[in-house]
Amino acid sequence: MAAAAAVVTPSGLEDEVSRSRGEGAGEMVVERGPGAAYHMFVVMEDLVEKLKLLRYEEDLLRKNNLKPPSRHYFALPTNPGEQFYMFCTLAAWLINKAGRPFEQPQEYDDPNAIISNILSELRSFGRTADFPPSKLKSGYGEHVCYVLDCLAEEALKYIGFTWKRPAYPVEELEEETVAEDDAELTLNKVDEEFVEEETDNEENFIDLNVLKAQTYRLDMNESAKQEDILESTTDAAEWSLEVERVLPQLKVTIRTDNKDWRIHVDQMHQHKSGIESALKETKGFLDRLHNEISRTLEKIGSREKYINNQLEHLVQEYRAAQAQLSEARERYQQGNGGVTERTRILSEVTEELEKVKQEMEEKGSSMTDGAPLVKIKQSLTKLKQETIQMDIRIGVVEHTLLQSKLKEKSNMTRDMHATIIPESAIGSY
């Protein structure tokens, strides 16, 4: 029966899911009924039946050493990490079963990428997925059951599976044992029941001549029996023994048929009388409960009015305090905005001050540093030494130049004297 019920439900479930999500013409949103919270349990049970039809135990669970999920595995939260891994594994296997190549997800893959790939494959099958992908990260819930159920249907379509009409098994009627007190029926009652059945089965018309002949024969037989009974030759002791011997065989057991409408009518009358008797008692209790609740509500209402009257001035003070508080909050917000602006200006001024301090420190360090002065003194000393050396060199050069001039001058005078003396000598001769 469970398998038969599972056979005829997928299309209805899909329509219910689409209606609950607002799908259809015009995208009209339909309010979910009180049973919508338990709808995913029904979808999950159908999903398990479809997975069994796809032989997932042999092709998936045994190859990957996975435990078979329960009938409500994805409907209730147990272990979100394990459920998400099982969801991704099942979805990838179903997509491959539906004829689309899909890589089996690994443990350390990006969950967002896996979910987006699964939803893209689902949309490629023509299915709608108008919910955020984060609904699938938990690994359980209505959307997880919906995605797996759609993929399982696509896999069944790909392998050519078609749903057939359910074959209901023939229920054999159980033989009910009737108690001995109810089973013992007198022959008169049996005759009466047989006569009632015969009268029910008779046709609407009766032949009067046949009826007269039957009544005449019955009258003759009864008169003959009465004459025989008047003269009895049977012993009373033998009659008692015979009655004791035959008594167990005289018990007639009639099997009650549960499909008989008379039994159903009797049960309905019994239930009706039980409901009426229970209703009388329950109605009295409910009336008393209603009266008590009404009195309690009246007391609560009067007490509430009294409290409101007593606390009216406190309520007014509270409202005034609330108004003052709201005004103070507004002033605080305004002041807080001014403080924020001034804090920003202060931070800018502080940065400029830090820059100026840094420049002053650099200049002060450069002014108080004696290294440049020492270098200048060393340079002056070196310049003085070089100046002295240059003066010595200049003096040497001047002395040399003077000597050369004097020597040249002496040479010139000597040459002049040498040329004058011979001319005078020549003049004397």
Tell me the C-alpha distance between 143 and 130, whole Å: 10
Q: Which of 158, 96, 143 is nearest to 121 (CA)?
A: 96
**Tell me, what's the pLDDT at 296?**
94
> CB–CB of 121/88 below 8 Å?
no
> CB–CB of 80/138 below 8 Å?
yes
Tell me the C-alpha distance between 153 and 288, whole Å: 56
* Dihedral angle sign, alpha carbons of residues 210, 215, 216, 222: positive
**Tell me, what's the pLDDT at 117?**
87
> CB–CB of 57/45 below 8 Å?
no
Mean pLDDT by 10 residues, the chain (429 residues): 36 40 36 70 86 83 81 84 87 87 81 87 86 84 88 87 75 48 45 49 47 62 56 76 81 63 86 90 90 94 90 90 93 88 92 92 76 85 93 92 90 83 52
**Tell me, what's the pLDDT at 390?**
93
Q: How far apart are the first and last CA of the chain?
A: 181
Across 69-84, b (16+ Cβ under 10 Å) vs e yields beeebbbeeeeeeebb
Q: Which of 148, 363, 377, 176 is nearest to 260 (CA)?
A: 176
**Tell me, what's the pLDDT at 400?**
92
Q: Which of 198, 189, 196 is nearest to 250 (CA)?
A: 189
Q: What is the pLDDT of residues 74-102, one digit of tens each?
A: 888 888 888 888 888 888 888 888 888 88
Amino acid at 176: E
> CB–CB of 67/83 below 8 Å?
no
Residue 23: Cβ within 10 Å count:
16
**Tell me, what's the pLDDT at 104?**
83
> CB–CB of 56/66 below 8 Å?
no
> CB–CB of 88/145 below 8 Å?
no
* CA distance to 51, 183, 334, 384, 418, per residue, from 152 (Å): 7, 56, 61, 105, 144
Tell me the C-alpha distance between 199 and 205, whole Å: 12
* CA distance to 6, 169, 338, 345, 355, per residue, from 350 (Å): 77, 92, 18, 9, 9
**Tell me, what's the pLDDT at 19?**
40
DSSP string across 185-241: --HHHHHHHHHHHHHHHS-S---HHHHHHHHHHHHHHHHHHHHHHHS----HHHHHH
**Tell me, what's the pLDDT at 201?**
45
Cα 422–Cα 423–Cα 425 angle in degrees, nearest 5:
65
> CB–CB of 98/151 below 8 Å?
yes
- Helices 39-53 and 10-20 meet at what angle, rounded to 10? 140
* CA distance to 265, 272, 275, 293, per residue, from 278 (Å): 20, 10, 5, 22
Q: Which residue has the tokens 């089965």?
A: 201
Tell me the C-alpha distance between 286 and 85, whole Å: 53
Residue 90: Cβ within 10 Å count:
24
Q: Which of 14, 8, 10 is nearest to 126 (CA)?
A: 14
Residue 131: Cβ within 10 Å count:
15
Tell me the C-alpha distance between 157 and 28, whole Å: 29
**Tell me, what's the pLDDT at 139?**
84
**Tell me, what's the pLDDT at 424?**
52
Tell me the C-alpha distance between 98 and 156, whole Å: 8
Q: What are phi and psi of 65, to 5 degrees?
A: 55, 50
